[in-house]
Amino acid sequence: MVRGLFIGRFQPPHWGHIWAIKAILSDVNEVIVVLGSAQFNYIEKDPFTVGERIWMLREGLREGGVDLSRVIIVPVPNIENNAAWLSYIKSYLPPFQVAYTGNPFVAMLLKEGGVEVRQQPIFDRGKYVSSRIREMMIKGDSTWRELVPSSVAKIIDEVKGVERLRIIITGEAEPHKW
């Protein structure tokens, strides 16, 4: 049994994520998908809650034909101590043998901890980027819907994600202290 690790924020999950997870599953028996920055939400970089991201990712994977019995989704909050990061995330996870990432900093931290690191499968990185999708939502460019599974777009509509992002960017997203 070989279990892989795939880390992301998934703000929101898009087809590039779904295809990467499918490709990883062609290499390993199971994949642990870590939803990083689990404590952040309702900010421009992280507009969706971890619960919403779990829901979106699960439905997107289902729509993409992924066998969900082979996927373990784990939310993990960030910590500021990079030297302790690997031990910290391992405390949240079942054992894994290999990690997939396209992030050189994450790869360095994993390798320093003795983890085998493989290049994350990347599909049209210029097109499938969550920050670009959020920008499209803010600008009213509805073609963002083509970049995410329709189930993800439906959830974003249901939670009023586009409206949320537009309010967040006004700078009025901080709760008032009465």
CA nearest neighbour of 54 among 79, 80, 72:
72
Q: What is the pLDDT of residue 173?
A: 56
Architecture of the domain made up of 3-168: 3-Layer(aba) Sandwich (3.40)
Q: What is the pLDDT of residue 172?
A: 67
Q: What is the pLDDT of residue 176?
A: 56
Token pair belonging to 99: 């990690």
Q: What is the pLDDT of residue 135?
A: 97
Residue identified by tokens 């931290």 is 109
CA nearest neighbour of 73 among 18, 29, 101, 32:
32
Token pair belonging to 63: 């729509």
Residue identified by tokens 């599909």 is 123
Give the chain's residues under pLDDT 70: 172-178
Q: How far apart are the first and last CA of the chain?
A: 55
Cβ within 8 Å of residue 40, ≥6 positions away: 46, 78
Q: What is the pLDDT of residue 98?
A: 98
CA nearest neighbour of 151 among 6, 15, 9, 11:
15
Q: How far is CA 140 from CA 49, 62, 116, 163, in A?
A: 22, 27, 41, 10
Q: What is the pTM of this model?
A: 0.92
Ordered by start, the domain boundaries in the chain are: 3-168
Residue identified by tokens 């779904």 is 18
